[in-house]
Amino acid sequence: MEIASRKAPVTLHDVAREAGVSLATASRALNGSERKVHESYRSRVLDAAARLNYTPNLSAQAVAKGGTNTVALLVADIADPYFSSIAAGVIRASEEAGLVVTMAVTERSTARELELVRALRGQRPRVMILAGSRSSTETDQDALISELQAFEATGGRVVFVSQHELPFETVAIENAEGAKQLARELVALGYRRFAAITGSRTLLTARDRLSGFVEGLAESGIEIPENRIVATEFTRDGGFDGANALLAQGLDDTELIFAVSDVMAVGALSALREAGIVPGEDIAVAGFDDIPTVRDVTPPLSTVNIPLVEVGRRAIALALSTDDTANDTITTTVVLRDSTPSR
């Protein structure tokens, strides 16, 4: 059987020769140069490129232009609706701006995050967005700052969706204030005895939400006993394990469990049902984030709403802004549903 020989890839030289124009004219016509190309020449070049099935060398263009039209988005966990909703906002806003999004997952590892930033710098994106809570014990923080500052020095833009911890533009979320307001409204519903499921104490989002909730309860003279606060993984399974840990201690004196994220609260709901406890009747549960799925669980979950798609949009707006504003803060609102009925 005869094996077809592979053809060499079509080059810009081939296109220029086919169109009967200079290499410089072909390059300007295809690569979006600011220098005008006469429409007749431009049409000839585009027709030649189509006939030859020419594909531009995007890496070479990036070197020539100093960057691409891409947005590099780093998230902790794309399976978490919190991050997928933010990603949806980033993608929609990027498309409207004529940009393309590439995405990578850090798995909440600071070492992996640093490795990805280094790799992505070589692809010369126009914008780099890092979404995810920071940690109070980041061993790679200085190296990360250095990498990102080097990226910005070559014309890139960096935006964090996080806390105002690092010297870069940031879309911050009112985590502590939102949790404080949730505590106030739950007390107003008649709740007095609480337990909490939180993430690692070094995770700043978990820390801020728990501290805000505790402060909100303290305004009414209410405390959460230390043995009623369980720290576990910041995931659905972490919430499941946290609820089981509380069940092992006994929850007879607890009226409401606060989980610092909705995915953890969903895990807690499952653990309670497996134990024969009816959430919303035998014990109340509240979360934080207002991811879309919590409206459809049984019972619908009380939570703190973050406009997550808008968070992603605001990150792109901040990255493309020419203003000197370095930060943007997202306001949160409490949403009460059937998982926390009035007592």
Measured between alpha carbons, how far apart are the two ends of the chain, in Å? 81
Segment 307-336 shows an average pLDDT of 90
Angle between helices 175-188 and 204-218 (to 10 degrees): 40
CATH T-level fold of 68-173+309-330: Rossmann fold (3.40.50)
Mean pLDDT of 2-19: 72
pLDDT digits over 270-312, tens only?
999 999 999 999 999 999 999 999 999 999 999 999 999 999 9
Are the C-beta atoms of residues 311 and 86 closer than 8 Å to each other? yes
Fold of the CATH domain 12-56: 434 Repressor (Amino-terminal Domain) (1.10.260)
d(CA 99, CA 102): 10
**Residue positions counted in the chain:** 343
Tell me the pLDDT band of 191, cut-offs 50, 70 and 90.
Answer: very high
What is the pLDDT confidence band of residue 24, given thresholds at 50, 70 and 90? Answer: confident
Of the segments 27-36, 151-160, 199-208, 240-249, which one has the largest average pLDDT value?
240-249
Residue 167 Cα distances to 25, 34, 209, 270, 316, angstroms: 42, 33, 23, 40, 18
Average pLDDT (95-115) is: 91
pLDDT tens across 51-104, in order?
888 766 555 555 444 457 899 999 998 889 999 999 999 999 999 999 999 999
Task: Check for a shared fold between 68-173+309-330 and 175-306.
Answer: yes
121, burial (CB in 10 Å: exposed 0-12, middle 13-18, buried 19+):
middle
The top-level CATH class assigned to 175-306 is: alpha beta
Lowest mean pLDDT among 11-20, 222-231, 301-310: 11-20
230 contacts 246 by C-beta, under 8 angstroms: yes
Which pLDDT score is estimated for 54?
A: 77
Tokens encoding 289:
């984030």
Strands 194-198, 169-173: parallel, antiparallel or unpaired by DSSP? unpaired
Is the peptide bond prior to 167 cis by the omega test (within 30 degrees of 0)? no
pLDDT at 32: 58
Residue 252 has pLDDT above 90, yes or no: no
pLDDT at 35: 62
- Can you give the residue ranges of every domain in the chain? 12-56, 68-173+309-330, 175-306
Which range has the top average pLDDT, 10-24, 243-257, 311-325? 243-257
Which of the given ranges, 11-15, 132-136, 177-181, 325-329, has the highest pLDDT on average? 177-181
